[in-house]
Amino acid sequence: MAKPFLDVLKGDRRDPPPIWLMRQAGRYLPEYRELRAKAGGFLDLCYTPEFAVEVTLQPIERYGFDAAILFSDILVIPDGLGQDVSFVEGTGPVLKPIRSATEADLLSMDGLQKTLAPVYEAVSRLTGRLGAETALVGFAGAPWTVACYMVEGRTSRDFHAVKSFCYSDPEGFGRLMDLLVEATVAHLSAQVEAGVDAVQIFESHAGVLPEPEFMTWVVEPIRQIVAALREKWPNLPIIGFPRGAGPMYVPFAENTGVTAVSLDTSVSLDWAMDALPVGMPVQGNIDPVFLLTGGNEMDRAVERIIDACRSRPHIFNLGHGVDKQTDPKTVQRLVSKVREFSS
């Protein structure tokens, strides 16, 4: 049976467009909060296949999305490479910062597969739990975004530490990025081998770099990852999400080799329809805050986005992730609106 999500990534238009949401499994769902309390630490939730499978399925069972995205985190890669990674309630991710090439050179691929084996076990279990029309999406953080966390040690507003590293020692920083490319290829390959239908690469901090550095540290590493994956799986659908890239979405789309791009909230859809490569599928891009306000304004935003994307294959999604304050009933209204408006 056909999977609408995958049909769109092959270049077909579907009416209504398939829908899934970034962070569709998470803290806004009461069933997630209940399981999270049972699991203990956040990484315990990610590394316990039984829990990861249940969390992945929660929004599918509640809303019937066209795609499930594996419940995990982009920071399992630095954890697997040997960096100290923890998640602190009220703070978020905290890592032991890597501020030099000497410190980066202490990281190793040796323990990656063993550490992340539970993630791949969760994928294997999920393949037998999803309906015939529901796709399973695997993912990883892009090397630049993951490096931002590894060097800064936590979420950053100015990115001074990671920029200082890559500007002052591009050779040393390049070794860290090469390692992250290798690890990302291994991580995504293992997910594909375990059964995901498509993958998404999250470049959440794409917008913080000037153009030359964007090409060096965003576009080129992702190009290498896509090329390595396509050597094994020529038809693997790969979605790139260079959040905050603005006009740099175009060279990203043209040079990385991704199948589709996910558009953030700031992107003008009229511009994107004209500027992006002809026929490239797009994903997005309703503002997650509309899910906080809901109502007729959200409905109108849905209509506007679907209308704007009628010239291309389109997957309806957010411009970022679901906010933890979102009312689950509003998500149901969104799904219903997408499916009834264009049918």
Cα gap 76→113, rounded to integer Å: 11
* Residue of 73, 99, 129, 333 marked catalytic: 73
Q: Find how far residue 322's CA is from the centre of its chain.
A: 12
Q: To which residue do tokens 């069972």 refer?
A: 61
Answer for the pair 133, 2: CB distance below 8 angstroms, yes or no.
Answer: yes
- Judge if the upstream peptide bond of residue 242 is cis by omega within 30 degrees of 0: no
Q: Out of 36, 125, 243, 312, pick the active-site residue.
A: 36
Cβ atoms < 10 Å from Cβ of 295: 10
73 is catalytic: yes
Closest C-alpha to 75, from 56, 91, 95: 95
Q: Is 23 a catalytic residue?
A: yes
Beta strands 85-88 and 92-95: pairing type?
A: antiparallel
Q: Residue 252, Cβ neighbours under 10 Å: how many? A: 24
Q: Where are the alpha helices (DSSP H) in the chain?
A: 4-9, 30-39, 42-47, 49-63, 76-81, 101-104, 112-126, 143-152, 160-168, 170-194, 211-214, 220-232, 249-255, 269-275, 290-293, 295-308, 328-341
Catalytic residue among 27, 62, 223, 339: 27
How far apart (Å, rounded) are the C-alpha atoms in residues 264 and 269? 10
Active-site hit among 63, 149, 249, 287: 149
One of 7, 13, 14, 23 is an active-site residue; which one?
23
Q: Which of 317, 342, 338, 336 shows the shortest CA–CA distance to 135?
A: 317
Residue 219 DSSP class: I
Active site residue 36: yes
Active site residues: 23, 27, 36, 73, 149
